[in-house]
Amino acid sequence: MRKDTESFILSSEYDLTTARHMFNTGRYVYVVFMCHIAVEKLLKAIVAETTDRVPPKTHNLLYLIKLACLSMPQDLFDFVAKINNASIVTRYPEDFNRLIESYPENVVK
């Protein structure tokens, strides 16, 4: 296993633990943000392993799936697409109050 792959995996696990803590404290926008980062890092680990190259500095999960030549069940792909679309609005919210309303507990869970 490549060293960067291992680092991406460990960092992703750390991010998922952070997301769980954020969920338990009701910080739902950050749960979505941390989950996106965790998925991104796992996809970058796969890209690093399959291409034997450092993955690009991108937040686009769909692009990373393409680079990794992954195929997945449609429901999983739909989930990744949904969290991919949340990336920009959680990073650069135009209306933070509206963003909070968009991600209540039941949606984030």
pLDDT tens, residue by residue, 86-105? 887 877 878 888 888 889 99
- Give me the amino acid identity at 109: K
User: Structural domains in the chain?
Assistant: 3-108 (1.20.120.330)
**Which secondary-structure segment (H or E) carries 72?**
none
pLDDT one-digit tens code per residue, 62-71: 999 999 999 9
From the list 77, 99, 79, the residue with the least C-alpha distance to 27 is 99
pTM for the whole structure: 0.92
> Rounded to the nearest 5 degrees, what angle is found at the Cα of 23, between the Cα atoms of 20 and 28?
130
Q: What is the pLDDT of residue 13?
A: 98
Q: What is the pLDDT of residue 96?
A: 86
